Amino acid sequence: MQDYQHHWKDGTPVHLPLGKIVCIGRNYAEHARELNNPVPDEPLLFIKPSTAAVHITRPLAVPHDRGEVHYEAELAVLIGRPLTNASASEAETAILGYGLALDLTLRDIQSKLKEKGQPWERAKSFDGACPLSPFVAADKLHKDHIQFTLDIDGERRQTGDSREMLNPIVPLIAHISSQFSLLPGDIVLTGTPKGVGPLQIGQTLSLELEDLLFVETKVV
C-alpha cells in the first residue's frame, strides 16, 4: 500500500498523524430507505482502520473476488484537537477542515453480516476502503449548509447537503466524543446520501465540495 498523509487543497501537508476513521451509518433518511434499512434513533457508529485510507486522486483499486463493491460519497471532517465528552462549542472549534471521502463497501458481505447481526468491519475496513481527498480549511465552509456531489462518467449519482443529515455535524462529533475520545488527525465520515451503487472497472468518479474542491479518480 502507498503511504497516506493528510493534505490541504494546495498540496501542503497537514502535520497531523492519520488516526482512526469514525463513520456514521444511515445519517440520511433517504439512503436508509433505499437499502430497506430502518432509520436509527441514535447515531450508528463504526470505525475504519488507518490502513483503509488512500489518496482519492490515485487510481481506485477495488477487490474483485468478494462480490459487489459499492461507492458511498461522504463529507469528511478532519479533527484538529483532542475531544472527550466534548460540548458542542468544543466540538465545533476542533474541526480543522472538510474534505470528501468514499466509504467503499463490500455490499454482498455486508448483507450477510447484517442478516447474522454481526459487525460490519469485514465489509468496510479492507485496505483502500476509504479514499480521501485533500482538505479545505473549516472557516471556508458553513457547517450547517455544506453541499457535495458525486458524478460517475459524467452522470450525477449523489448529492449531499448537511442540512439533510439526521445528526448534524457538530452534535455528531460531540456525541462521538462521549463514546470514545477523538484525537488530532482522526477523520469523521458524516454519512452518505441516497444514490449508492456498484463500481465497475473503467468508471471515472468526480467529486465536488461546493466550488472549493474538485477531485477525480478512476476505477482499475
For residue 83, the 8-state DSSP code is B
Nearest CA-CA partner of 196 in 166, 165, 143, 160: 160
132 phi/psi in degrees, rounded to 5: -125, 140
Q: If you search the block for the grid coordinates 488516526, which residue do you land on?
A: 19
* pLDDT at site 32: 67
26 phi/psi in degrees, rounded to 5: 60, 45
Full set of structural domains in the chain with CATH: 21-218 (3.90.850.10)
- Taking only the tens place, the pLDDT of each residue in 60-108 is 999 989 999 999 999 999 999 999 999 999 999 999 999 999 999 999 9
191 phi/psi in degrees, rounded to 5: 100, 160
Cα–Cα dist 105/61, whole Å: 13
- Taking only the tens place, the pLDDT of each residue in 117-164 is 999 999 999 999 999 999 999 999 998 899 999 999 999 999 999 999
Q: Which amino acid is at 126?
A: F
DSSP-derived 3-state class of residue 99: strand
Nearest CA-CA partner of 132 in 207, 36, 31: 207
- Taking only the tens place, the pLDDT of each residue in 33-70 is 777 777 778 899 999 999 999 999 999 999 989 999 99
